[in-house]
Structure 1
Amino acid sequence: MKSILYTLAFALILLGCRSKEKKAEEQQDTVTSVWEADFFDDFDTFNPENWQDQRIWVNNELQCYVPDGEYGTREVSDGTLKIKVVNVGEKLPCDNLDKHGTKQADTQYMAGRICSKNRKEFVKGKWTARLRLHGNGQPSMFPAWWLLGAQNNESPVQEPDENVCWPLTGSGEIDIFEHHGDVKKDHFTTGAIKSQGECDKGDWWSYRKDFPATLDDFHEYSVEWEGSDLVYRLDGEEVYRNVSEGDNYPEPMFAILNFAKITDNPMTGEWVMEVDWVKHEFRQ
């Protein structure tokens, strides 16, 4: 009997050692593997093979997303993309619809929103954008750099499988950079949206946190899948991690850059999010 117990104990110890060795090998593979870019846009021009305008009304926002850079809302100049909110001084009709077909009200605020949907979509890997804000911290500002699952059922719907409701798998959301001007200057929010298993039900804050940064300066904002974790970095340094959440976002995802206006606070001048480049990488 003792011999059997000793043998069993030895086998358990050996199994534990092998498990630790395997985990160490996986961690070493993650550390030693190299990121290789499979998409890079440095905005010498606006490339329609990479991006399209996304005209949609969400979150009861006050702006109207317009196409083709109307009113100067989307501009490429001097090697950067400028996404803007512009006050045109009078309320104009807006044709943006929400996912239920409700039309946005007339508004004096025109804005830009682009996405890589059905252009550049990737499973996991690493997404990074180098960007800055002009005049950050003004109330109502809501610029964002984020990802959405490629089967999302919101406009533009262009493929038969784009029928999954936010934030279910296939329509998951990861926010790499958001700035809430009503909350605090020189802070950004990052993190994933938790799916609660029902359409239009997500936990907005449990996976997201605020972090300080001088938003008027260019910074690199990224998210990467590291094993089963989602790792968020500012200029290459980890600031936050959604532990064991990466596998909840297995679907191809597309990128979005937009600038919204979210409250009735007065707007001073035009608001600009300037983007130097965007890239996606995979581990080689």
Structure 2
Amino acid sequence: MKPIKTKLNALENKEWEVDFLDNFENFNTDNWQDQRIWVNNETHCYVPGGAFGTREVSDGSLKLKVVRIGEKVPCDNFDKNGKQHPETRYMAGRIVTKNKKEFIKGKWTAKLKLASNGEASMFPAWWLLGAQNNESPVQEPDENICWPLTGSGEIDIFEHHGDHQKDHFTTGAIKSLGECDKGDWWSLRKGFDVTLNEYHEYSVEWEDSDLVYRVDGKEIYRNVGEGDNYPEKMFAILNFAKITDAPMKGEWVMEVDWVKHEFRK
């Protein structure tokens, strides 16, 4: 056991160094791009450029929103099989660091809050995806691996399922079942209570072979031995989704103070 303890102590003594930080003083296209894609049978349309007020940077924070417009309009989002999203009156924002800021392992953190929570159909998220993912936009030759195989793996740092509970979120990795589009969503995930309308720091870090999840720097959960299943570069995703036809009051807002990635020196 002594060599293992020595290894852990050596890791703990290494300092984190920031290699990516966005404080959202503006929307920096060197860091982010819009992603327009239809997944999970979401009932909204992801729109670019903050159309309909779905993405705003003001007062030093990013606001991603789901908004309800009057009449249903056409949506140019397509699913991975090429099927176009039906007309909808719900518009939403989704941004990614894909082909902008992608990193192998380390630690990803975002400081965020929700303006409201616990409403049916709410599905805001902060998560990671492997950089060789073959879903739109495909911009580089090696983006040819289907979810959730290695190269296109998924780690969910923060997800709030409004249908389930107020002031509650889930975190954890998606376990690949070894085939395209076949993943185990729940065996590596756990739920936690937190005051969602207050800012908190949500992070995941690679610690040897483990994935360690923290809120405000405190460990809340660990996927033991799962870290080695994600050796690839990964990019970050922030989005606010609407996942059922439940009625919606007003607009939904996820506010993000900053996002960063760190590595061990």
Query: Which TM-score band (shorter chain)?
Result: over 0.9
**Matching residue of 1:32:** 13
- Partner-residue secondary structure (3-state), 2:126: strand
Letter of the aligned partner of 1:30 in structure 2? L
- Aligned partner of 1:34: which letter? E
Q: Distance in 2 between matches of 1:109 and 1:29?
A: 50
**Candidates 102, 127, 136, aligned match of 2:108:** 127
CA distance in 2, matches of 1:73, 1:161: 31
Q: What is residue 61 of structure 1 aligned with on the other side?
A: 42
Aligned to 1:275: 256
- Other-structure match for 2:150: 169
Aligned counterpart in structure 2 of residue 114 of structure 1, from 95, 111, 114? 95
Aligned residue in 1 for 2:175: 194
Q: Identity of aligned pairs, percent?
A: 74
Where does residue 155 of structure 1 map in the other structure?
136
Normalised TM-score (structure 1):
0.93
Normalised by the length of structure 2, the TM-score is 0.99
Task: State whether structure 2 residue 232 is matched by structure 1 residue 251.
Answer: yes
Structure 1: which 5+ runs fail to align? Answer: 1-19
Name the SS for the 1:247 alignment partner: helix
Whole-angstrom CA distance in 2 between matches of 1:254 and 1:85: 22
Aligned length: 265
Aligned residue in 2 for 1:43: 24
When the two chains are superposed, the root-mean-square deviation of aligned CA atoms in Å is 0.5
**Shift of residue 259, structure 1, vs aligned partner:** 0.4
Larger radius of gyration: 1
Partner of 2:120: 139
Q: How far does the alpha carbon of each residue in 1:59-110 deviate from its partner, in whole angstroms, 9 at most, with x for none?
A: 1110100000000000000000000000012100000001110000000000
Residues 233-274 of structure 1, C-alpha deviation per residue, up to 9 Å, x if partnerless? 000000000000000000000000000000111101000000
Match of 1:78 in 2: 59
* Cα deviation digits, residues 34-67 of structure 1 (max 9, x gap): 1110000000000000000000000111010000
Higher-helix-fraction structure: 1
Counterpart-to-counterpart distance in 2, 1:249 and 1:230: 10
Q: Which amino acid aligns with 1:193?
A: I
- Residue number in structure 1 paired with 2:200: 219
| 1:263 alignment counterpart | 244
